[in-house]
Each structure stands twice: as structure tokens, then as C-alpha cells.
Chains A and B, each alone.
Chain A
């Protein structure tokens, strides 16, 4: 009986200590706004998946030590339903009702821009993956009193990505074709992101010596055959599908049936999903991922990342690799908070992010933000052998040093 009493006392003391430890951990509220439903769900799911994994790993490792306190990340995830009004309402809620310190998202240029007009005045950091933010991230916008001072673009500048992608695609496809490719057709959705991305990619292909035709399709197109037939009449050497992975996965089989071109490039389609869906083509097909691909990468840390990412229940989508545009930045943000020693000094955190670097899964060299709050890293381009779904040859292409002629950067 006495032993039982002693045991109970020990258990009680242990519980009390555990409770005390739990009380010592403060909460760091972080918001995530992403499309978990609606037409951008494939991209939106990657933000949520990356946030869940990063928060779990940071918390499991003991949290973030800021000054004499330890903070555990508490995620507030909001579905924007691919609707700008819901995005705004969610941003207001996270910023004003909950008081988050930073927000990750969204997947769409328009939504991210509208959101930045709420996060900026509230001095809440915003990490968005849209490279099209390059159109608005300039000296004035990111200045201390600028409306994008607290916004960071976690995707490389588009001329960099376009340059490395174009180079990688051409170097992989050229040996596969009877003669070096000279004529490319860029087939892209005619929306904000599509227009922005293709404007850079066309210049990048031209810089590589390609004659380029641009064909745009209305967003939400499902029957691509009229446009693809038109493209076939142009006799291209390569058709480049940009940028929406879901649309590409609808259009690509139609192109194969019509025999539109002797080779293809699929943007926004991971090798992993190509394999999952058992897609096959009798011609060489290339894919690219920023930063690294799911389903083919030879790097062990990338494989580990995707095992953990999917292990946590993330959906296998056409662009699961996009999750890496969000994952590393949690750790980088945590590192900046620890360095600053305060969670309520966003200006100091911004300054710290701009002068620090972070070596994550994304890149073999540490990530660095430039003066316009944009990062630089390489692109992985893979080619699947004809008539196979899982035999990939991949290469990492570094971004060019400068924008090609006619591209003003951004």
C-alpha cells in the first residue's frame, strides 16, 4: 500500500512537471491560406501538406527557441475555396481575429496580391510561391514603407526558372530527335499566371535559338483538340505545355492521340504523377520541377522528404514538388526568429531574412533572398524514355546569370 502511494506520488509529480513544461511552451500562430477545394486544389494541397510537415518536424524537435521562451507552431489553415473573396476574409480573420505572425500562401497571383494588402499594413510576413509576384516586387514596393515589405517570393524569378527550364528541356530532347529542334510551340492557359510565365519562357527559348509560336487556351478548357490540331499544322519540333498541371494532364493525352509533335515538355507535371497514372508516349517527353522532382530525384534528402510528405497524408498531385517552395521557409523563418530573439518584431525578422541564408531540401547551395525578396535556385528537368512510365533521366540546370535579350527581368 505504501509502495502504491509512493508510486502515485511519483506519477503525480511527473505529471505536474510535464504540465509545467507544457505551460512553458508558448504558441506561435502561423496562418496558411490555400485552395483545398475548387479549381486550384492541386497547387493548394501542396502548401497545406508542406506546412503540416514542417510544423510537425519543428515542434517534434522541441519548437523554436526565441529569447528565453520556446514556441511551438500552431497552424491555422484556411481553405480559400479558390475564391478571392474567401481569401480576403480568411486573411482578415488570420491577421485581425487570430493574430498570426506569418502567413503561407496562396497559390494564385491575384489572391496573393490582394492578401498582401492586408498582411502588409498589419506587418504580418507573407510567403507566397507565385513567381508572377516578380511583376510587382520592385524597389518601391519592398521598401520599409512599401506595401510588399513583408512579402517574400519563395519561387525563383521567372526569367531564371524559364532560362534553366528551356536549357534543360532542349539539352535532353536534342539527342532524341532526328535533327536539332528549331521550332517550339508554347501552349499555355490565358490567365494571369499563364501570361506572365509564358512571356518569360518564350524569350528564354528564343535565346536558345528556337523559333517560338505562342498558343493560348482559355482557362478551364477541357477539349483541346481544335487548338492542338492547329498546332499540329504548325509542324513544331517540341510542344511545351505551360503551366497548369491539371490542364496539361487533360491536354497531353489528346495531343498524343492527334500526334501533334515529335516531342513534348510538360510543365507542372511531376515525374511521380506521370508514373502514378501510368502515362506513356511513343515520343520523348520532358518534365521539370522547381526545385526538385517528386518521383525521380536521385538525391536521398529529396526522397526522404517526399516519403515523409506523403506519409503525413498529403495527396499525390501533379505538382507535389511545389510543396518544397513552402517547406524550407518554415525552418528559415524559425531560424530568423531565433536570431532576432523576439516574435513581435517583424521588421527585424524581415531584415534578418534578407541578410541570412538557409540550406534546405531545395537546393545544394544555400537559399538567399535578393533585395526584391526573391530567391534563386536551380530547376530539375527530367525526360521519360518513350513507351515507359517510370524510366527517367534527370539533370539539374542552374539559372542563367542574366535575363535573355528582350526580357526585363522581374
Chain B
């Protein structure tokens, strides 16, 4: 249980009040309605305090930078890909998400973080693309290139919810810059996300409050870490609706947008 100004409050209320502190200080925090992974921008995260009994609301950079990356230049090469001196292109390595099933495998970059530095990523909602293959008017067969529709996904009746994450302290060895970066854990899609994110059939590991704080503060066995990391949030408690294809440029990126040709999602149970 948390105290704010000496009064006992729930964790959720504590987080809301802490969020208001940041907003008042003109600190760009949860005020951003849309966090796009490939912008590698700061994001609000709950991090366990050093004593291990409580947590802080901090900002971390989304996009896990492994400790072997020496400086920003190397981090950018990892994130965006690059051509070496011989003209050979090295594709990007994406560290926005960590696959739950592989989290603790030996030599995985997320292993130590999953054992020692778990965090909770605060979210108001996220988006994913639904891929459809309508019948071609010319051939009568499904088109080869998918038509993509963006969806906004959130948790019903919850202004904020928790995604499981792992974080990594990182220092640029050239400049001394220190940042904390994180990756969001993903799990197999539930029956709702299976319809929305139907190209990859994955979803972020969204945790209810009891599991969220066990993930953040608990002294967990490897088995339990994997169990929580693979948790599938109940689809009936989630909401998904289509949004405009140019939502990234919209004033309200989460505004619903109806497409006449878009089949409705089947009710998720």
C-alpha cells in the first residue's frame, strides 16, 4: 500500500497523483497520447526501488540497449541498420519487444534483466494493424498484398494499465550519457488480439494489478517469471476499435474511425 501526503491510497491512485506531479512540472510524461516504438522516445515506467519494497515512476527510453553496445552511434546502427565500409547492409535489430517464451534462454540479451530488472510499462492503449486479404474484383481470388487497418486497443474501464517489461541501465562510453531503456514483454495473442494482430498473432503481456506488482516487486523463480511473462489478459476485458490510417499525424490518434469494408471483430470470450 502507498501513502500520498501521509494518507493511505491505492497504488493506482498513487500513480495518478504522481502522474499529476509530472504534468504540473511541465514534464512530458503520460501527456503523450501516442508512443510510437520506432521513435525510441521516453515512456513512463514503474521501476522497483533499490530496497526492493516500493517503486518509482520514472521515464525510460523504449528500445532495450544491451550493455555490449558502446555508444549512441552503435545503438543507432543497431536500431536503424547501416551499411559498413564494404557497402554491406546490416539490417536493424529491434529490441522494442522481448518474446516471453525466449526471455530466460541462455545468452538472450533480456535474461539478466528478466531475473533482476523487471518493470511495469504504463499504457493508456496501444495500436496494432489488422491484415485482410479481400477478393480481387479482377480475379475473384484474395489479393496478394494485405490491406491494413489500424486498431486502438485498451483495457475496459481502466485509464491506465500495466504491461510487463524489462529494463537495462546503459552508459554511452563516448559521452558518459546515462539512460535506462526497456523492452515490453510479448505473449501469444488472446482471441481478441488474434483477430486484430493477425499477421504475427502476438500481444503485449498486460497484467492485472496483483500479477503486475508480483512481477515488479516479487522474488520470483525462473518458472514463475516465465509464467507471468506468458500471461494472456482476458479478451473480454479488452476493447479494440479501428482508427484512421493516418492516426500518427492526428490530434487525437485514438479517435474511432469506421471503414465500410472492414468486417467486425468476433466477440472475444
Query: Are chains A and B native binding partners rather than an unrelated pairing?
Result: no
A: which residues have CB within 8 A of B? Answer: none
B: which residues have CB within 8 A of A? Answer: none
